[in-house]
Amino acid sequence: MAKPGKVTAVAEISEKFKSSSAAVVTEYRGLSMAQLTTLRRALGKGATYTVAKNTLVKRAAEDAGVQGLESLLVGPTAITFVEGEPVDAAKALRDFAKDNKALVIKGGYMDGRALSVDEVTQIADLDSREVLLAKLAGAMKGNLAKAAGLFQAPASQVARLAAALQEKKAADAPAEAPAES
C-alpha cells in the first residue's frame, strides 16, 4: 500500500505537469543549497524548480499523460515546471548551467512531446515573447510607413505635374500676348 505522503507528492507533481506549458529536466548533483536558491531566483515567478524522486516523477508523468521522460529520470533529478513562456526559463537554466558546471540539462517536455538537450538550447536561444512582439510591431510600422509613402506618391506627382503645366502656361502666355498687339 502506498504511503499518503508519496500519493500526495505524485498528485502534486502530476498537477504541475498538467498545468505547465513546459518542463525541463536537470541533474543538480554537486550544487549547494545556496546555488539552488540562486537558480530558483533566476527562474523568476513563472517557473518552479522541484527536486523529486525519479519513481514519483515517473508515476506523476504517467498520471498526467506525459511520455518520453523515462530515459531522463536517472540519477539526482530536478524538474523546472514553466507556467509562462518557456524561453525565459530555458535561458535562465542555460545561463546558470554555463556558470555552474554541476547543473546538467537532460531534456524536457513541451507541446505533448519530449525535448532533447539541443531542442531546449534552441528554445533558450530564441528571443522572448516581448522582444518578438516588439520586432513584429517595428516591422509592421516600417511597412505602414512604406505604404503611406506609396499612397502619397501619386498625389504628389500629380501636384508637381499640375505645377509644371501651370508654369509652362505662364511662360507661354507672356510670349503670346505681345504677338496679339
Dump pLDDT digits (tens) for 26-35: 998 888 899 9
Question: What mean pLDDT is predicted for residues 118-131?
Answer: 81
61 vs 143, more confident: 61
CATH number for the domain whose boundaries are 4-126: 3.30.70.1730
pLDDT digits (tens, 9 = 90+) for 34-92: 998 899 998 888 888 988 888 888 888 888 888 888 888 888 889 999 988 888 888 88
pTM over 0.85: no
Average per-residue pLDDT for the chain: 83
Q: Is the pLDDT of residue 134 over 70?
A: yes
pLDDT of 120: 86
Q: Is the pLDDT of residue 25 over 70?
A: yes
pLDDT of 61: 87
Residue with cell 502666355: 173
pLDDT of 177: 53
Q: Is the pLDDT of residue 176 over 60?
A: no
pLDDT of 171: 83
Question: What mean pLDDT is predicted for residues 106-122?
Answer: 87
Q: Which amino acid, 123?
A: I
Q: Kindly state the cell numbers that stand for 54.
A: 525519479
